[in-house]
Amino acid sequence: MERPRGRQIPARPVANLALVVFAWGGNYTWVKLGLEDIGPWAFNAWRYGLAAVLLGLWLAARRGAAALVPVPGERSAIAVTGLLQVVVTTACTTLALDRVEASRTVLIAYTMPVWSVLFGRAAARERAEAPAFWPALFGLSGLALLFSPWTMDWATRAAIEGSLLALAAAWAWAAGALVYRSRLWRSQMWSQVSGQILPAAVVMAVLALAFESRSTAATPQLVAVLAWNALVPTILGFRAWAKALEQLAVTTASQVLLLSPVVGVALSAVVLGEAVTPALAAAAALTFTGSLLALRRSAPSTA
């Protein structure tokens, strides 16, 4: 008797997505550790400077120097996307981590899909249908809980600044996604990544020279965190994400990616000893549901 054939996701994209979820979601914890020995501006400058060098050497060796640059006509748009999703998003999350818990930062930052849907509708000047309110309702309810007096000390300036910076990171990522989805790209994926990382490294270095005031302690912990950031979340993370998208629909992969804040909160509790309160768990559930509904709303319909 034949066994019924079910749809099975190939093992390779599952492994790639698992790497992305751990690398991106868990990185908030490692960055928090790194900031014990270095200022946020210098951290980002070193992070993307190392990533730019490693990626540039690898691309030049594998595909030639031409692979480092996007095709003409797309360079400025890719640079703007990188400015929003790499420079602004990373700067805001790192500054947030310097002020508040990693678990709070990752939960607020991962409301990105909700804002992406809202920004997209605002840009298209469309009236939202009734079902489109559900992602915003859940996502904004989770945010409201994270900003409530039960979970945030409004008398502490660092808590307010950190939470608002994490929210700004989500807005910047959503705005970058809007720019990226506004056109069809001819540049190869690695050329797009390079076109974002290389300018980001320059901008981060300038910002570090202008604003960094803290001294750096070159501890083994800091070296390990910087090496991890340059290689795993930046280079290998982008590669794993691209490979997963070769075999899975972007909406399917994005829904799996929503496990990232779960990993981030859990890792922060284990490594940093941050408490997972009932209010924090409820906020996580609300933001997760809102982001999941936002991704499903943005999925193309199939007839």
How far is the C-alpha of 155 from the C-alpha of 17, rounded, in Å? 40
Q: Which position has the token pair 């559930």?
A: 285
Residues 112/257, Cβ–Cβ less than 8 Å: no
Residue 302: which pLDDT band, with cuts at 50, 70 and 90? very low
pLDDT digits (tens, 9 = 90+) for 228-240: 998 898 888 877 8
Domain count for the chain, please give it. Answer: 1
pLDDT of 149 > 90? The answer is: no
In a domain, 5, yes or no: no
Residue 246: which pLDDT band, with cuts at 50, 70 and 90? low
First to last CA, the chain: 33
pLDDT digits (tens, 9 = 90+) for 203-213: 999 999 999 98
Residue 135: which pLDDT band, with cuts at 50, 70 and 90? low
User: Is the pLDDT higher at 117 or at 65?
Assistant: 65
Please report the pLDDT score of residue 68 as a whole number: 83
Q: Count how many Cα atoms sit within 13 Å of the Cα of residue 168 in the half-sphere of its side chain.
A: 15
Residues 142/290, Cβ–Cβ less than 8 Å: yes
Dig out the tokens for 48 from the structure.
């993307």
Overall average pLDDT of the 5-21 stretch: 71
Phi-psi region of 64 (alpha: psi -120 to 50; beta: other; left: phi over 0): left
Q: Count how many Cα atoms sit within 13 Å of the Cα of residue 183 in the half-sphere of its side chain.
A: 13
In a domain, 94, yes or no: yes
Please report the pLDDT score of residue 251 as a whole number: 58
Residues 33/221, Cβ–Cβ less than 8 Å: yes
Please report the pLDDT score of residue 134 as a whole number: 67
pLDDT of 220 > 90? The answer is: yes
Backbone angles phi, psi at 272, to 5 degrees: -100, -10
Indicate the average pLDDT of the chain.
81
Please report the pLDDT score of residue 6 as a whole number: 44
For the ranges 17-26, 61-70, 132-141, the maximum mean pLDDT occurs at: 17-26
**CA-based nearest residue to 131, from 294, 280, 256:** 294
Residues 287/110, Cβ–Cβ less than 8 Å: yes
pLDDT digits (tens, 9 = 90+) for 83-92: 998 899 999 9
**CA-based nearest residue to 54, from 70, 35, 42, 68:** 68
In a domain, 301, yes or no: no
Residue 290 lies in domain: 11-296
For the ranges 58-62, 153-157, 287-291, the maximum mean pLDDT occurs at: 58-62
Please report the pLDDT score of residue 303 as a whole number: 35
In a domain, 81, yes or no: yes
In a domain, 6, yes or no: no
User: Is the pLDDT higher at 178 or at 220?
Assistant: 220
How far is the C-alpha of 268 from the C-alpha of 286, rounded, in Å? 19
User: Is the pLDDT higher at 60 or at 252?
Assistant: 60
CA 219 to chain centre: 26
How far is the C-alpha of 288 from the C-alpha of 143, rounded, in Å? 11
* The length of the chain, given as a count of residues: 303
In a domain, 182, yes or no: yes
How far is the C-alpha of 282 from the C-alpha of 290, rounded, in Å? 12
What letter represents residue 152's amino acid? Answer: M
User: Is the pLDDT higher at 3 or at 293?
Assistant: 293
What letter represents residue 179's amino acid? Answer: V
* Cα Rg, the chain, nearest whole Å: 19
